[in-house]
Structure 1
Amino acid sequence: MTEMLLRYFRTKQKEAETEKVYDTQCPFCSMQCKMQLIEQSTVTRKKYKTVGKNNPTSEGRLCIKGLNAHQHAIHTDRLKHPLLKVDGEFVQISWAEAMGIIKEKFTSIQSQYGKNALSVYGSATITNEEAYLLGKFARVGLETKYIDYNGRLCMSAAASAAAQTFGMDRGFTNTIQEIPHSRCLVLAGTNIAECQPTIMPYFEKAKENGSFIIAIDPRETSTTKMADLHLKVKPGMDAALANGLLKVIIEEQLIDESFIHERVNGFTEVKEYVSSLDLDEVSELTGVPVNQIKKAATVFGREESGMIFTARGVEQQTDGSTAVRNFLNILLATGKIGKKYSGFGAVTGQGNGQGAREHGQKADQLPGYRSIENDEHRKYISGVWGINEKDLPRKGVSAFEMIQKMDEGEIKGLFLMCSNPVVSNPSAEFVKQAIEKLDFFVAVDMFISESARLADLILPTTSYLETPGTMTNVEGRVTLREASFPVRGEAKHDWQIICEVAEELGKGEYFSFSSPEEVFNELRIATRGGIADYSGITYDRLRKEKGILWPCPDENHSGTERLFETEFAHADKKAAMVVVSNTPAISKEKPTEDFPLYLTTGRVMSHYLTGVQTRKSSTLAAREFESYMEIHPSTAEKYQIKDNMLVKIESKRGSIVVRSKWSQTIRKDTVFVPFHWADSQNVNRLVSKKLDPTCKMPGFKVSAVKISPVAN
């Protein structure tokens, strides 16, 4: 009897669960939802569940990606040790060996070819501290001008448009809490229902409150279904559509004359241009009926408040910057900016798309949105960093232009952090070939991504569960991501890797940090007095206040909830309208006899960016395990494409094979392919190398293609 009881109690003891709770934030979209990972352990197994945590932006909501984010973080494929490529295969080495190789190779390249022979390619998913350090590392550690990041492919059009129009760029000019109270909401090129699902309740509440919602998209999506009016624009014709809306607003006298007179430059020139346009011709160009253009314009113009939101559909164009500026023209003409329930929202794509572009990863920027070409800004940052201003490099080039310089042989080495340019850039085969020409390539990643496959050396980094630091969400709200999950193997945090490489290269005195908070405190000093001023933000305040909207110039400042209430950020305190031609400076591909269809690209709810993380989640991968082509049934029948069959899609740049998916709601002249897959399903193989002349954004959203069924 005693033995049986002992066995019973031993069994119960083994079954007893211990529970650990880890505070964190979702690593995916710009909502940066707060959450907790709960780990329940027995002697034999561990199981996990994720719950939302209340916060000012997402209010405790989570989407399918956030609920399952931990699956990639605990995946068995996570890199745990440095890997060196030897005879085409990766072999495990020590950190000491890895650092020695980096020192030898980087020193040799710069000795032979000069400082600018090395390049740094960053990420909009790393923390503010790491983004700041990476910019400093390029300019102080390597002394190279060549640094840019993957946010160039995401937010650059909206950022440049806002900076040129308002004098500064913060994703939202108002808080997210104002959305439900705005009388008219325009969603231009954004599918928030799939890309930022936890923001949707704000728009649903607005609809309940009687707001009129206008969606602009070539496709019918879960977002457009919510709209009162869906303008099914031809791919690439967003700027022309905005001109049509402006024409009606001006001719119907729906402008705010006093606002324009007191606070806006350039209106007269814009008025003259749009007045010369023919609305029927605009309708023909855009594919949007005249009555719908008039309806959208008059509703937005007449309502007392309104907000315009743009995202990749408008921005990922070779005229993306001016297209966004034209939507901002509409806000300025109607005076719907700097007021309650009226403003602009650039719907950031990546988790730290806002913060990552503020602190020095962009080719032309220094921390705090300072300009690397401005002598006063250079002097200030040089003083913070303790270097001579003349040793601070000048501006480099955009992300894709760096790849072109790799192809040309000017750039010989690459330090890549948490990005996958082989999949994310246009003309993906060209990108792969250019990177293969490098003399030495170091990748910092959690997995062997499609880009890391090409590396000579891979350094293992930590996940969102393991790396604490600050992130800046879609509103411009700085948040503190706590992270205490055990580090996998010998992986190190990005900030630690940067500091250790700098030490190896003899620049350790500039990178002697022992925690993210120490880095943040230097970032605060570096941003003081800049446009993106974080100097009043501290870790203690972020813990207590659950996030602070910048600019926040001192510790007694509560943060800035609404921008431009009394003045804009240009020297003359006024905003700038600009004429945007219906004929863009960089011509876009149009369907031809050989390539008769438009191709546009986008996201699906269960995946994120190039899929390196989400394709490691069994739950998310099961929902969308392969790419597809959305096509109208009548178009499909014309090209003998049955539903759910393999299809070859070809452009002038290359071809891919995906599965067809019939859709009654897409334009008949357009096909849609998501961009989360790699190799033979990488849709960016089909995209042109042409770039927006202002912000260097590739034209992902418009390509001319032909399609054909794949033989069994």
Structure 2
Amino acid sequence: MCQSGENKLEAGQFILPVVETQCPFCSVQCKMTVSTETETLAGIIRTVYKAEGKPNAASQGRLCIKGMNAHQHATHAERLTQPLLRKEGKLIPVQWGEAMDAVGSSFSSLLSTQGPDGIGIYGGGSLSNETAYLLGKFARVAIGTRYIDYNGRFCMSAAASAGSKVFGIDRGLTCRLADIPLARCIVLAGTNIAECQPTLMPYFHQAKENGAFVIVIDPRATPTAAIADLHLQIRPGTDAVLANAMLKVIVDEGLVNEEFIRKRTNGYEQLLTHLDGVDLNESAALCGVEAEMIRQAARAFGSVETGIVFTARGVEQQTDGHMAVRAFLNLVLATGKIGREGCGYGAITGQGNGQGGREHGQKADQLPGYRSIENEEDRAYVASVWGVEPSSLPGKGVSAYEMMELVHQREIQALFVMGSNPVVSNPNARLVEEALKKLDLLIVADMFLTETARMADVVLPVTSYLENTGTMTNLEGRVLLREAVRIAPGEARDDWSILCQIASRLNKGGYFAYKDTEDIFEELRLASRGGVADYYGITYDRLRREEGVYWPCPSTDEAGMDTMFRESFALSDRRAVFTVVESCGAGEEISEEYPLTLTNGRVLAHYLTGAQTRRSPSLAAREIENYVEIHPRTAQRWYIKDGEWVEIVSQRGSFTVRSRIRPHIREDTLFVPMHWGGAQNVNRATRPDLDPFCRMPGFKTAAVRIRPLRLAVAATSGHNGEWSQF
């Protein structure tokens, strides 16, 4: 990539004055250009960057504030540019050779004394498809461990498992983004698109202009709820109850699509029997909304020809997330709103490559192409691609949080973390922090010294989105190519290259002899061939030419499937499955000691644990610290003033944030963003309870209490903490 002679580029420079790239943040994966020029101010020469949206099929050239300022973290002075090795308790810069020798010898020693399952691999949903694929192969071939999972477990696992069971395949959207304006009714359940995927909002505005009725289901009156014709402000954890109640109305009022049900589904009769026991008024009371509003929502969705249901973390990050999503899928199937224009279901992916990241092997139970690691045919096929014996591949591991529990129990002694910050993003964060301190070896590959990296024995600097080439799969299943446009700063290396180097130190380099990411993608294509997520027909040349290809795409002669399930579903009998879902809440039981429900989520300016966005001055300035949204009457009840520091406590632990008194949240609910670590980390109080099907933690429904921090300080200092005295 570097040129020679007078034109040789230096580390950190762009290849051209204007480059084309792709936003690294949310699942829309907006295309953009970044231009550079120099200016002199007070005798100081500095580089000025300008990011602009580039026309593309997903965001149509739009760019949000995160994309406009993404270059700020990539060019930040805190970027790691040299490997760090812990010596005498401190992380010291070292050369790559020394760092790799330390990693290789430590892994080799652990493999000989503890065996491969003593080592865990922890990935991320923002890694490229190539790196996600290689991380799965690295775990199973270079290490031989069954313990691999990733932070995407906390993103779409409920929707993914539900889609697989109901449809036979998991792809974020079953339809195109272009179908949104064609829908006559849109259900947005637990998703705040206006802040999380803002470049998609014009699709919904256009739908409303075309006469669509928009239903938003959320405990908060979010910016997304502002566009709603009907806002159902339900109690957290009651999404399945609400979906069942809506379905009951649709069935009772004859709004079902009998022909679709008869020809293309199974299980409807059992569902009808179950619905006989559903009482609309009881459901409404449990959800905390009026029965007439539920009836209105059901009629709006059931009476129109086209409609789309979208879910996101508000529904999915529950201990019944899998079944709650299936309850919403019942609505789609009962009305026949799938497989045609203006219809479908969409799980709004959170992370940049949350979709592709789970398709190719960094999930505990999956092999490339969405194959199952427990299926003998799948194991044999992937083993043949990798050139190993099927018997050498390990079995299924455990989910991301369960890995942390195994670390805490010392069953896993070493952890390799790539592209994730688990000490902040996991529920029950105090246990996770305790667990990481128990490790014999913690290796972190990252761009910054995150909260997790600070605890590591070895820290490996990786390239940013501007500096590495790879494919990403956006929320609608469109595979996109993002190419390197900048020389990596210092000694930062591509994450896939680091994996190859470690494999070589473990005498497994022959299985990881790649010259570039396209070489890896060619193997990924072959490994996915014939699988549920078939990428075989997708090539780098096609991606450059066509600017994105939908999967599944089994042949280079095919266009890829934009609208799924037009004629049949992906289960063996080609029919979709209705699900009997119990009408019971999934929240943690409140009590006199813990009388409020804590839920969490995102804000517009930040992303995940904030490791990148808090290093963007333009984004950090918008939200410099964490906060809790609390209803005015709730604040009055607990003697809380607007803007003061408060302590929030659950059975797991506590954290402190500033209060924001707002009328747009339920009185029984607190909302706290998820982007901060340390004392402001909401996950110090969230629930570690897991969904029995997909192992998603119950992030959204922790029972808590709240009080002003001044009272907590008074209590710990021995003063009388009577509420009336303050």
TM-score strictly above 0.5 = yes
Partner of 1:260: 261
CA distance in 2 between counterparts of 1:710 and 1:416 reads 35
Equivalent pair of 2:240/2:584 in contact (CA under 8 Å): no
Equivalent pair of 1:320/1:692 in contact (CA under 8 Å): yes
Q: What is the identity, as a one-letter code, of the residue corresponding to 2:703? A: A
Secondary structure of the residue that 1:207 maps to in structure 2?
Answer: helix
Partner of 1:657: 656
Secondary structure of the residue that 2:532 maps to in structure 1?
Answer: coil
Partner of 1:422: 423
Partner of 1:336: 337
Partner of 1:325: 326
- Report the Cα offset of residue 435 of structure 1: 1.1
CA distance in 1 between counterparts of 2:426 and 2:34 reads 33
CA distance in 2 between counterparts of 1:123 and 1:645 reads 35
Name which of structure 1's ranges 588-597 and 678-687 shifts more when overlaid on structure 2: 588-597
Partner of 2:500: 499
Secondary structure of the residue that 1:45 maps to in structure 2?
Answer: strand
Partner of 1:590: 589
- Report the Cα offset of residue 88 of structure 1: 2.1
Equivalent pair of 2:453/2:459 in contact (CA under 8 Å): yes
Partner of 1:490: 491
Secondary structure of the residue that 1:534 maps to in structure 2?
Answer: coil
Partner of 2:88: 87
Equivalent pair of 1:18/1:41 in contact (CA under 8 Å): no
CA distance in 2 between counterparts of 1:60 and 1:692 reads 38
Equivalent pair of 1:19/1:40 in contact (CA under 8 Å): no
- Report the Cα offset of residue 99 of structure 1: 1.0
Secondary structure of the residue that 2:544 maps to in structure 1?
Answer: helix
CA distance in 2 between counterparts of 1:698 and 1:22 reads 40
Partner of 1:645: 644
Secondary structure of the residue that 2:33 maps to in structure 1?
Answer: strand
Equivalent pair of 1:22/1:483 in contact (CA under 8 Å): no
Partner of 1:34: 31
Partner of 1:685: 684
Alignment identity in percent?
A: 56
CA distance in 1 between counterparts of 2:281 and 2:485 reads 60
Partner of 2:465: 464
- Report the Cα offset of residue 42 of structure 1: 5.5
Query: Residues 49 and 113 of structure 1: is their aligned pair in 2 closer, same or farther, counting only changes over 3 Å?
Result: same
For the aligned residue pairs, the C-alpha RMSD in angstroms reads 1.2
- Report the Cα offset of residue 227 of structure 1: 0.6
Equivalent pair of 2:15/2:486 in contact (CA under 8 Å): no
Counterparts of 1:72-221 in structure 2, within 5 Å, are: 72-221=73-222
- Residue-by-residue CA offset, 1:606-630 (whole Å, 9 max, x unaligned): 0000000000000100000001110
Partner of 2:519: 518
- Residue-by-residue CA offset, 1:236-287 (whole Å, 9 max, x unaligned): 0000000100100110011111111111111111111122111110011101
Q: What is the identity, as a one-letter code, of the residue corresponding to 2:233? A: K
Counterparts of 1:218-233 in structure 2, within 5 Å, are: 218-233=219-234
Unpaired stretches in structure 1, ≥5 consecutive residues: 1-16
CA distance in 1 between counterparts of 2:419 and 2:108 reads 23
Query: Residues 18 and 156 of structure 1: is their aligned pair in 2 closer, same or farther, counting only changes over 3 Å?
Result: closer
Equivalent pair of 2:80/2:449 in contact (CA under 8 Å): yes
Partner of 2:571: 570
Equivalent pair of 1:674/1:683 in contact (CA under 8 Å): yes
CA distance in 2 between counterparts of 1:388 and 1:670 reads 53
CA distance in 2 between counterparts of 1:45 and 1:420 reads 32
- Report the Cα offset of residue 41 of structure 1: 2.9
Equivalent pair of 1:123/1:151 in contact (CA under 8 Å): yes
Equivalent pair of 2:599/2:670 in contact (CA under 8 Å): yes
Please say if 1:615 is aligned against 2:617: no
21, 25, 45: which one aligns with 2:22:
25
CA distance in 2 between counterparts of 1:157 and 1:475 reads 17
Query: Residues 507 and 19 of structure 1: is their aligned pair in 2 closer, same or farther, counting only changes over 3 Å?
Result: closer
Unpaired stretches in structure 2, ≥5 consecutive residues: 1-13, 714-726
- Report the Cα offset of residue 19 of structure 1: 7.0
- Residue-by-residue CA offset, 1:560-600 (whole Å, 9 max, x unaligned): 0111111110001011111110236xx63122101111111
Q: What is the identity, as a one-letter code, of the residue corresponding to 1:648? A: E
Query: Residues 299 and 390 of structure 1: is their aligned pair in 2 closer, same or farther, counting only changes over 3 Å?
Result: same
Partner of 2:399: 398
Partner of 2:317: 316
Partner of 2:362: 361
Partner of 2:557: 556
Q: What is the identity, as a one-letter code, of the residue corresponding to 1:125? A: S
CA distance in 2 between counterparts of 1:637 and 1:77 reads 42
Equivalent pair of 2:373/2:395 in contact (CA under 8 Å): yes
Equivalent pair of 1:18/1:42 in contact (CA under 8 Å): no
Q: What is the identity, as a one-letter code, of the residue corresponding to 1:610? A: T
Secondary structure of the residue that 1:255 maps to in structure 2?
Answer: coil
- Residue-by-residue CA offset, 1:299-348 (whole Å, 9 max, x unaligned): 10010011000000000000001000000011011111112111000000
CA distance in 2 between counterparts of 1:476 and 1:177 reads 13
Q: What is the identity, as a one-letter code, of the residue corresponding to 2:315? A: V
Equivalent pair of 2:549/2:560 in contact (CA under 8 Å): yes
Equivalenced residue count is 694
- Report the Cα offset of residue 636 of structure 1: 0.5
CA distance in 2 between counterparts of 1:405 and 1:226 reads 45
Name which of structure 1's ranges 98-107 and 311-320 shifts more when overlaid on structure 2: 98-107
Equivalent pair of 1:23/1:483 in contact (CA under 8 Å): no
Q: What is the identity, as a one-letter code, of the residue corresponding to 1:697? A: M
Q: What is the identity, as a one-letter code, of the residue corresponding to 2:339? A: G
CA distance in 2 between counterparts of 1:217 and 1:331 reads 19
Partner of 1:629: 628
Equivalent pair of 2:597/2:668 in contact (CA under 8 Å): yes
Equivalent pair of 1:415/1:443 in contact (CA under 8 Å): yes
Equivalent pair of 1:24/1:36 in contact (CA under 8 Å): yes
CA distance in 2 between counterparts of 1:619 and 1:42 reads 19
Partner of 2:671: 672
Partner of 2:453: 452
CA distance in 2 between counterparts of 1:689 and 1:499 reads 34
Partner of 1:3: none
Partner of 1:277: 278
CA distance in 2 between counterparts of 1:422 and 1:297 reads 41
Q: What is the identity, as a one-letter code, of the residue corresponding to 1:241? A: L
CA distance in 1 between counterparts of 2:404 and 2:348 reads 27
Q: What is the identity, as a one-letter code, of the residue corresponding to 2:333? A: L
Partner of 1:5: none
- Report the Cα offset of residue 65 of structure 1: 0.3
CA distance in 2 between counterparts of 1:710 and 1:532 reads 50
Equivalent pair of 2:16/2:485 in contact (CA under 8 Å): no
Counterparts of 1:280-319 in structure 2, within 5 Å, are: 280-319=281-320
Q: Give the TM-score normalised by the residue count of structure 1.
A: 0.96
CA distance in 2 between counterparts of 1:305 and 1:42 reads 53
Equivalent pair of 1:478/1:549 in contact (CA under 8 Å): yes
CA distance in 1 between counterparts of 2:242 and 2:355 reads 27
- Report the Cα offset of residue 62 of structure 1: 0.3
- Report the Cα offset of residue 18 of structure 1: 12
Equivalent pair of 2:15/2:487 in contact (CA under 8 Å): no
CA distance in 2 between counterparts of 1:59 and 1:342 reads 21
Equivalent pair of 2:278/2:583 in contact (CA under 8 Å): no
CA distance in 1 between counterparts of 2:15 and 2:381 reads 52
- Residue-by-residue CA offset, 1:517-553 (whole Å, 9 max, x unaligned): 0000110001111111111111111111110110111
- Report the Cα offset of residue 689 of structure 1: 1.4
Equivalent pair of 1:18/1:40 in contact (CA under 8 Å): no
Secondary structure of the residue that 1:361 maps to in structure 2?
Answer: coil
- Report the Cα offset of residue 87 of structure 1: 2.1
CA distance in 2 between counterparts of 1:249 and 1:157 reads 25
CA distance in 2 between counterparts of 1:39 and 1:347 reads 33
CA distance in 2 between counterparts of 1:487 and 1:19 reads 14
Equivalent pair of 2:15/2:485 in contact (CA under 8 Å): no
CA distance in 2 between counterparts of 1:407 and 1:619 reads 38
Name which of structure 1's ranges 40-49 and 624-633 shifts more when overlaid on structure 2: 40-49
CA distance in 1 between counterparts of 2:203 and 2:230 reads 18
Partner of 1:473: 474
Equivalent pair of 2:238/2:584 in contact (CA under 8 Å): no
